Amino acid sequence: MSIQTQIEAKLTVLNPSFIEVINESHMHSVPKNSETHFKVTIVSDQFGGVRSVKRHQMIYALLQEELQPGKVHALAIHAYDTQEWQGSSPDSPNCLGGSKS
């Protein structure tokens, strides 16, 4: 199972009304077909009244295995409750490090 699929599966426990997991590794200086950089956009009623840091901690706790050293290098998290959700999340910046500079 791909890391992207694992992330999606584990985040379903938050009962999201919207979830999008994008592998952005191709935007970084990593080998082809890597699964090291991800962007997660998730909308859940479970985030209502919960501060951003706590939302991230909830996600980190669910993804402990994927976030171990040598696996996922970067995880951009955009976590919204249903009242905050505007239908899109910010675009990720292009990598300026390594061979991409």
What averages of pLDDT result for each successive group of 10 residues across the chain (101 residues)? 93 97 78 79 97 97 92 90 89 65 45
Prediction pTM value: 0.84
Domain count, the chain: 1
State which residues form the domain around 80.
Answer: 3-85
Residue corresponding to tokens 């426990």:
13
CATH value at residue 40: 3.30.300.90
Residue 95 in any domain: the answer is no
The span from the CA of 98 to the CA of 78, in Å, is 26
- Looking at residue 91, its pLDDT comes to 82
Half-sphere exposure of 90 (CA within 13 A, CB side): 7
pLDDT at 52: 96
pLDDT given at position 74: 83
